[in-house]
């Protein structure tokens, strides 16, 4: 993938068919899913149009080529997160499936009645519900780690909650509602001091930070492709090899076995033991393409780009009476807010609908974070989330549409 020597927003936007087709939508919902660059779309098209074949099955040249590229994609992810081995990279359908896999293998196999799973109050439902399910299955308990008034992980409360009963700590690298960058380094260190394993949900964080799982020393790190400019339906579970080796299998079927008989079945080693059935080959190849494409940009230039947009967005919102920004983070690509007019709370969906009618796509609702909304005492927010392709004109169009929506309200 060619290096992009300087950040040219117009050149970036030209790489996204969605922004250059018939649609006039201003897309400000990248925290939900990103639009895809042409190189990612081309990878998918080329695979299905020129080389479609299953992997790790058969002896013809098409399957050999697909298998080679499939495993090269795994090695690309390994380098991307600095895993010590490609055996530590497990393909999943996304971050949600990855957390469920951990819960139904590692957690279900090790938890006992009375054990505790500490989960942050600001987590996405995908990092809460799987732990509740396995807690019901094992007799363990899910314990909430509260947030502070400024939407931060409460480290003092966290350290007080840690005990010999703590077996798992689950935290987002970066939250999806406020873009709070949680202190995962300290969270992991304290978890290990208590004898617990640390599970980091990187679905939002990996988009904006370089991740080194060996330096972090996390036990598990998960992320989705579709928030990383790759397709939906592909994700990654990283786990330390020693832990993955001890975990029981989850899905049964082809590829994850060595020998099957009605008397006894033996299972494959890593990473195949967790990859039953035909995988999303095109998705894996396209994820590798997206990673290589992103790595062509200078991190500092991307940060500067996001910072410029964030400052313009926040300044505009601060000049609108009745807007309350929720948990604003200084280096975020996400801004969530509520609106009150003459003492009356305006429903977030009404705002989003009026924006949509003007061609502005934002997210409204609880953002799969009910506990966070309950802690804030609100039923939802409007969320504006930025992508690499957004420009200052997008922010101006959003602010103009928001002011018009407020006039209509």
Q: For residue 334, give every residue at least 6 positions away whose Cβ sits within 8 Å of its Cβ, in sequence order, or none.
A: 31, 176, 177, 178, 179, 204, 383, 384, 385, 386
Whole-angstrom distance between the N-terminal and C-terminal Cα of the chain? Answer: 48
Q: Find where tokens 């930025």 sit.
A: 386
DSSP 155-218: HHHHHHH--TTEEEEEEESB-TTT--B--HHHHHHHHHHTT-EEEEE-TTGGGTS---HHHHT-
Residue 374 near residue 360, CB atoms below 8 Å: no
Q: Say if residues 327 and 178 touch (Cβ distance below 8 Å).
A: yes
Q: Rounded to whole angstroms, how far apart are CA atoms 333 and 348?
A: 20
**For 12, phi and psi rounded to 5 degrees?**
-65, -50
The tally of CA atoms less than 13 A away on the side-chain side of residue 251 is 20
- Establish whether 151 is a catalytic residue: no
C-alpha torsion sign, points 380, 149, 315, 313: negative
Q: Which residues contact 311 (CB under 8 A, 6 or more apart)?
A: none
CA distance 109 to 178: 34
Cα–Cα distance measured from residue 369 to residue 366, given in angstroms and rounded to the nearest whole number: 6
- Which of 39, 76, 218, 368 is the catalytic position? 368
Which positions are annotated as active-site residues? 368
């Amino acid at each position: 993938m060619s290096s992009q020597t300087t950040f040219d927003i117009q050149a970036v936007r030209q790489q996204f068919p969605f922004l250059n087709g018939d649609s006039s939508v201003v897309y400000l919902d990248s925290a939900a899913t990103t639009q895809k660059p042409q190189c990612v779309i081309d990878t998918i098209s080329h695979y299905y149009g020129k080389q479609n074949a299953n992997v790790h099955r058969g002896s013809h040249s098409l399957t050999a080529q697909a298998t080679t590229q499939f495993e090269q994609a795994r090695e690309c992810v390994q380098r991307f997160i600095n895993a010590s081995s490609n055996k530590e990279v497990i393909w999943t359908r996304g971050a949600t499936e990855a957390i469920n896999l951990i819960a139904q293998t590692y957690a279900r196999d090790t938890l006992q009645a009375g054990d505790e799973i500490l989960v942050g109050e600001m987590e996405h439902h995908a990092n809460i519900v799987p732990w509740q399910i396995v807690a019901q299955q094992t007799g363990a308990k899910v314990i909430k780690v509260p947030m502070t008034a400024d939407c931060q992980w409460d480290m003092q409360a966290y350290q007080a909650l840690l005990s010999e009963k703590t077996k798992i700590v689950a935290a987002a690298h970066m939250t999806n509602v406020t873009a709070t960058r949680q202190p995962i380094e300290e969270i992991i260190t304290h978890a290990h001091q208590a004898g617990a394993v640390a599970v980091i949900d990187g679905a939002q964080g990996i988009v904006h930070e370089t991740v080194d799982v060996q330096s972090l020393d996390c036990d598990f790190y998960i992320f989705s492709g579709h928030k990383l400019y790759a397709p939906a339906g592909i994700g990654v579970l990283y786990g330390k090899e020693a832990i993955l080796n001890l975990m029981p299998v989850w899905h049964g079927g082809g590829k994850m076995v060595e020998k099957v008989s009605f008397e006894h079945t033996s299972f494959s080693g890593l990473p195949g033991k967790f990859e039953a059935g035909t995988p999303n080959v095109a998705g894996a190849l396209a994820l590798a393409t997206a990673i290589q494409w992103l790595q062509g940009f200078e991190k500092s230039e991307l940060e500067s780009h996001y910072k410029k947009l964030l400052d313009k967005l926040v300044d505009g919102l601060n000049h609108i009476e009745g807007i309350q920004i929720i948990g604003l983070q200084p280096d975020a690509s996400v801004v969530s807010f509520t609106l009150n007019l003459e003492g009356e709370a305006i429903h977030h969906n009404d705002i989003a609908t009026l924006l949509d009618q003007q061609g502005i796509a934002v997210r409204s609702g609880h953002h799969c974070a009910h506990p966070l909304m309950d802690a804030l005492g609100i039923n939802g927010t409007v969320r504006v989330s930025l992508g690499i392709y957004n420009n200052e004109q997008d922010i101006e169009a959003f602010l103009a549409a928001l002011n018009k929506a407020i006039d209509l309200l």
